[in-house]
Amino acid sequence: MNDVTGGQQAWWKGAIVYQIYPRSFCDTNGDGIGDLAGLRSKLDYVEKLGADALWLSPVYPSPDRDYGYDVSDYCDIDPKFGTLAEFGMLVKDLHGRGLKLILDQVLSHTSDQHPWFQESLLSRDNAKKDWYVWAEAKEDGTVPNNWLSAFGGAAWSWHPLRRQYYFHKFLRQQPKLNFHNKDVVKAVMDVLRFWLERGVDGFRLDVANSFVHDEKLTDNPPLPMEERTFLDWAHAPRLQRHIHDANTLENERSMREVRRVMDEYEGSWAFGEFSEEPKRLPLYAGEPDKLHTGYTFHFLESWSFEPATFRAYYEDVLAAVPDLWPCVTFSNHDVIRTVTRWGGGAGDDELAKLCLLILLTLRGTVLMYQGEELGLPEADLAREDIKDPVGDLYFPFAKGRDGCRTPMPWEEGKPHAGFTSGKPWLPMPESHLTRSVEAQEKDLTSVLHFTRAAIALRKSDAALTWGAIRFEEGPDGVLIYERAYEGEKRRCLFNLTREARRVPAQGEVLFQTGVGSLSEGMLELGAHAGVVMKV
């Protein structure tokens, strides 16, 4: 088990993991797409922020139907990002700074251009005939069952060479691997070893609850009408309970396979993305023979900025396995940015600071997406600028995920805020220009300076890093919890409303944002203000 080494907690438990979406981080060759050279040029920035590790979204060769999440070669670097040699230099640079590197792994499915699929589709009797999920048509020629794609429509596409349907959980260009095939399992585990041998410290597993499907191809049951959702920001209609095309009990077996590989490499770490209820996370993570940890979409898809939102996550997860160490994240490359979701469609710097302080005082490994430390709001893109397949299909009813994937703004007064000397693959939003790194470096009250200070607080405080968490009742709209570790206690109070609130409070203020006053045992919290107290 990797959770304790030499009597010390595993490194990842106290880590701040900074997620980089490489296409949009920094471009050095003027093609408008971020690259490994650009990433390496900004490592001083990442280190100064206080991150312990980088989570790098896919950099493997890909036709980019889903922008890297359709992999055509698991064991190389896409030329638009660089080379394997440059990747090796990145690993060396990071390790020289004491930073870890986590790679995104998309193991559930491949691109339809992957050599495995290209061989599998040729016939029903080749060496890779069962590496993907193929099925016969029904007698009337229709699809094998009622499974729906996460991007809309049937999850099956007909292939004329095989004269069969193949299953794709997402786009038709993303065929699903067959994890019931032992050769497939061995091949993808060897992919993990390939990167671990090159110095990678761990992996984030994309759609980790979707590795294993029901071999009987049982129809999914419908969702009750009151639970159905139709088009929203990045989703096709949700009409079914996905219990046979994903979320199967056999999926647990795949997590154990991954863990066995990770345990071959001391200090390595694997966490998964699970589109399930938080209470089901312990099925896949948190035990010595499962993934180390994981996260769900509880915070990521929530538009409810209420104390109950935060309390429910920990009560659901920790009620099942009290010792489970969760990941905590409010934003990533798939969801609307935090200040826009929780700011009622807008966003401001005080709200950004409040959200960051909550993130950095909750229990768990922190996953922070690029640009959150700048307080960037969601970009509102024109139809002609949309690249994401979801937005392309459903605009304007669902604009997709491009709004959180726009380029990082680095410099003042330069075209595209210094991201590229060419035309960026997505436009630089006007609203991001004034929030550039250079502008915020000059302003000691900026979100960036606040983030660095809040990260430093967490890393220097054992109670905030390792402590148990206990929620308290508070005035309407006020989130209160206590972190406790080896006799040290920290009380965290956050006003989630736009109006001042008075809260009983005792102790020493360690860190604050927008606090009005503390007198006679009462703390006045201004709108969107938070405080961390020693008690």
User: Helix 182-196 crosses helix 251-262 at what angle (to 10 degrees)?
Assistant: 30
Rounded CA-CA distance 49/450 in Å is: 10
**What is the H or E stretch that residue 253 is in?**
helix 251-262
Closest CA to 530 of 500, 492, 502, 497: 492
Residues of the chain with CATH 2.60.40.1180: 467-534
Q: Give, for all 535 residues of the chain, the pLDDT tens digit.
A: 345 544 478 999 999 999 999 999 999 999 999 999 999 999 999 999 999 999 999 999 999 999 999 999 999 999 999 999 999 999 999 999 999 999 999 999 999 999 999 999 999 999 999 999 999 999 999 999 999 999 889 999 999 999 999 999 999 999 999 999 999 999 999 999 999 999 999 999 999 999 999 999 999 999 998 888 775 655 667 889 999 999 999 999 999 999 999 999 999 999 999 988 888 888 999 999 999 999 999 999 899 999 999 999 998 877 777 788 999 999 999 999 999 999 976 669 999 999 999 999 999 999 999 999 999 999 999 999 999 999 998 898 889 999 999 999 999 999 999 999 999 999 999 999 999 999 999 999 999 999 999 999 999 999 999 999 999 999 999 999 999 999 999 999 999 999 999 999 989 999 999 766 778 889 999 999 999 999 9
pLDDT of 229: 77
Rounded CA-CA distance 259/340 in Å is: 36
Alpha-helical (H) ranges within 114-237 are 115-120, 182-196
Which listed residue (136, 264, 380, 476) is catalytic? Answer: 264
- For residue 98, what are its two tokens? 């004491």
pLDDT of 43: 99
Query: Is 199 within 8 Å of 101 (Cβ atoms)?
Result: yes
Rounded CA-CA distance 247/410 in Å is: 41
Cis peptide before 396 (omega within 30 of 0): yes
CATH 3.40.50.970 at 4-110+182-231+239-456, yes or no:
no
User: SS3 of 366, please?
Assistant: strand
Sign of the CA dihedral running 375, 380, 386, 389: positive
Active site residue 264: yes
- What class has domain 467-534? mainly beta
Query: Is 236 within 8 Å of 394 (Cβ atoms)?
Result: yes
Query: Is 368 within 8 Å of 51 (Cβ atoms)?
Result: yes
Closest CA to 46 of 266, 277, 371: 371
Sign of the CA dihedral running 185, 199, 12, 404: negative
Rounded CA-CA distance 93/319 in Å is: 41
Helix-strand-coil percent breakdown of the chain, rounded to 5?
30, 20, 50
- For residue 422, what are its two tokens? 């060419």
Which listed residue (206, 252, 372, 378) is catalytic? Answer: 206
Residues of the chain with CATH 3.20.20.80: 4-110+182-231+239-456
Its pTM stands at 0.96
